[in-house]
């Protein structure tokens, strides 16, 4: 029976309360001995967790959530949306205090895809059938009210149906359509299992075309290395996730994920992304309601090369006046390669328009310092916004040492003070993990 002709979904009655160490395949086979080739089993993750001993003592559920959390994506009051150890982004890391004895919580299966494979293999041994298995859990979804079941583990199921390259009923090419088949199966099973009916397993019959042969990868790709088997193929990677930083809570993540990038790929930079980052930069606080920021965007290779060559010549002249050896000079000049190798440069400038003049060195010096601090705040906004655009950056101070040269080459007004240069581009490699800094070392309380 093909999917076009229809399919049936029913819940499996008669399953006992699952205990640590139970063989789920044997329990399911005993409760539903008429399973047939091509059926798909939808198994609630709770009973998988119980069978695998993922019930833990936890008088403090929050501590259990902390232990299962890789990063906090968003927080509102007590509710946390986090990325958990399985790579899933969900509420409370999947830690569940329902349907488990008081004083305990259920953790998600350690490896839901492996759990699905074990159930599939066990049903083959017990009943001689080739079925697909989907391990399901309940998710909320951005921009949509209500909960639904999705696939967190799978075996023997084409979890994604890639329609790209085909055409629709009108002959239009399909260029972006990839259907999350395993999630659709999980949601169908939830309709008959229910949340409180004590029916943790459902069967779908009539969709044999989504069940893979044993020789294929669990995700139906036919891959042999297993690297994208099962429901792991449904997890969108960080590089492709346009909404990874999407809430006010994520601003903190943007700040912490901003890194100094010193090696860039050849991928071009979207000028629109840089302009959006400038728009964020000019929201920084500034004295006297002024706008002390200007951003010079060097979008052409010719303008970048002309500026960097002039800066290099000025730097070499300074180093020779300092008595540095030619070897030392060459080594120092090479440090500027981060700017020369970047596909895009930005020169942030300070302008003192609107500043006050007091005629007293102390107060005039403090006035300039206020404007310098405001410019730094604008540049910080700029760097963080670039990180939100998935662009790497490096803020290099070199233009501050040859401001007259920079102004002349870029034809800038005399009152514009270059405050370094920002190399912008796509990082050539993933940044290293940043070492933890104990915040108490930077705090004094009075």
Q: Domains, the chain, ranges and CATH?
A: 3-54+109-240 (3.30.1330.100), 258-425 (3.40.109.10)
Tokens 């009051």 found at = 77
Report helix, strand or coil for 39: coil
Query: What does the pLDDT average to over 88-110?
Result: 88
Query: What does the pLDDT average to over 241-247?
Result: 66
Query: pLDDT at position 426, please?
Result: 94
User: For residue 48, which of 133, 127, 128 has the smallest C-alpha distance?
Assistant: 133
pLDDT at 5 over 60: yes
User: For residue 208, which of 129, 137, 148 has the smallest C-alpha distance?
Assistant: 129
Confidence tier at 219 by pLDDT (50, 70, 90): very low
What is the DSSP secondary structure assignment for residue 15, as one 8-state letter? P
pLDDT at 400 over 50: yes
pLDDT at 375 over 70: yes
% of the chain with per-residue pLDDT over 70: 92
116: Cβ contacts below 8 Å, ≥ 6 apart: 43, 133, 134, 135, 153, 154, 155, 156, 218, 230, 231
For residues 112 and 253, the model is more confident at 112
Q: Are the CB atoms for 176 and 240 separated by under 8 Å?
A: no
Element (H, E) at 147: strand 144-155
Q: What is the mean pLDDT of the chain?
A: 88
CA angle 155, 161, 162 (to 5 degrees): 130
Asked which of 112-121, 272-281, 428-437 is least confident by mean pLDDT, the reply is: 428-437
pLDDT at 243 over 80: no
% of the chain with per-residue pLDDT over 90: 62
Asked which of 82-91, 203-212, 226-235 is least confident by mean pLDDT, the reply is: 226-235
Confidence tier at 2 by pLDDT (50, 70, 90): very low
Count of Cβ atoms closer than 10 Å to residue 246 Cβ: 14
Which residues sit opposite 382 in a β-bridge?
none
pLDDT at 279 over 90: yes
Query: pLDDT at position 167, please?
Result: 77
Contacts 24+ apart (CB under 8 A), 122-128: 122/23, 122/24, 122/25, 122/26, 122/29, 123/25, 123/28, 123/29, 123/35, 123/41, 125/25, 126/25, 126/26, 126/29, 127/29, 127/33, 127/35
pLDDT at 389 over 90: no
Task: Give the separation between CA 240 and CA 237, rounded to whole angstroms.
Answer: 6
User: For residue 158, which of 187, 183, 129, 125 has the smallest C-alpha distance?
Assistant: 183
pLDDT in tens, 318-371: 889 999 999 888 888 887 788 999 999 999 999 999 999 999 999 999 999 999
* Tokens, residue 297: 């965007």
pLDDT at 53 over 70: yes
For the entire predicted model, the pTM comes to 0.62
Task: Give the separation between CA 389 and CA 277, rounded to whole angstroms.
Answer: 8
pLDDT at 163 over 90: no
What is the DSSP secondary structure assignment for residue 206, as one 8-state letter? S
């Amino acid at each position: 029976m093909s999917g076009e002709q229809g399919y049936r979904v029913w819940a499996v009655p008669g399953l006992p309360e699952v205990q640590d160490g139970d063989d789920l395949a044997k329990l399911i086979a005993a409760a539903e001995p008429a399973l047939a080739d091509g059926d798909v089993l939808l198994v609630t993750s709770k009973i998988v967790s119980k069978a695998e001993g993922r019930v833990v003592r936890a008088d403090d559920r929050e501590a259990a959530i902390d232990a299962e959390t890789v990063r906090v994506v968003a927080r509102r009051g007590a509710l946390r949306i986090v990325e958990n150890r399985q790579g899933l982004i969900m509420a409370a890391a999947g830690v569940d205090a329902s349907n488990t004895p008081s004083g305990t919580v259920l953790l998600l299966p350690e490896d839901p895809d492996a759990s699905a494979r074990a159930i599939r293999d066990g049903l083959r041994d017990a009943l001689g059938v080739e079925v697909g298995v989907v391990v399901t859990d309940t998710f909320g979804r951005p921009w949509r009210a209500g909960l639904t079941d999705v696939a967190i583990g799978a075996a023997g199921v084409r979890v994604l149906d890639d329609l790209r390259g085909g055409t629709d009923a009108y002959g239009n090419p399909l260029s972006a359509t990839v259907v999350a088949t395993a999630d659709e199966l999980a949601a169908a099973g939830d309709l008959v299992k229910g949340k409180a009916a004590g029916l943790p397993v459902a069967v779908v019959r009539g969709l044999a075309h989504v069940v893979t042969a044993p020789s294929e990868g669990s995700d139906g790709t036919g891959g042999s290395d297993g690297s994208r088997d099962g429901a792991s193929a449904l997890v969108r990677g960080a590089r492709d996730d346009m909404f990874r930083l999407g809430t006010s809570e994520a601003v903190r993540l943007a700040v912490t994920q901003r890194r100094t990038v010193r090696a860039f790929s050849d991928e071009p930079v979207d000028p629109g992304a840089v302009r959006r980052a400038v728009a964020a930069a000019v929201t920084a606080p500034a004295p006297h309601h002024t706008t002390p920021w200007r951003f010079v965007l060097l979008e052409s290779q010719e303008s970048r090369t002309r500026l960097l060559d002039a800066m290099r010549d000025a730097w070499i002249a300074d180093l020779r006046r300092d008595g540095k050896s030619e070897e030392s000079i060459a080594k120092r000049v090479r440090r500027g390669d981060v700017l020369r190798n970047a596909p895009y440069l930005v020169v942030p400038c300070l302008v003192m328009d609107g500043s006050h003049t007091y005629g007293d060195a102390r107060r005039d010096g403090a006035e300039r310092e206020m404007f310098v601090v405001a410019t730094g705040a604008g540049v910080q906004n700029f760097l963080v916004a670039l990180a939100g655009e998935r662009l790497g950056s490096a803020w290099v101070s070199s233009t501050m040492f040859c401001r007259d040269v920079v102004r002349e080459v870029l034809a800038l007004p005399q009152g514009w003070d270059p405050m370094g240069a920002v190399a912008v581009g796509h990082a050539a490699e993933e940044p290293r993990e940043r070492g933890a800094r104990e915040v108490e070392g930077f705090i004094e309380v009075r």
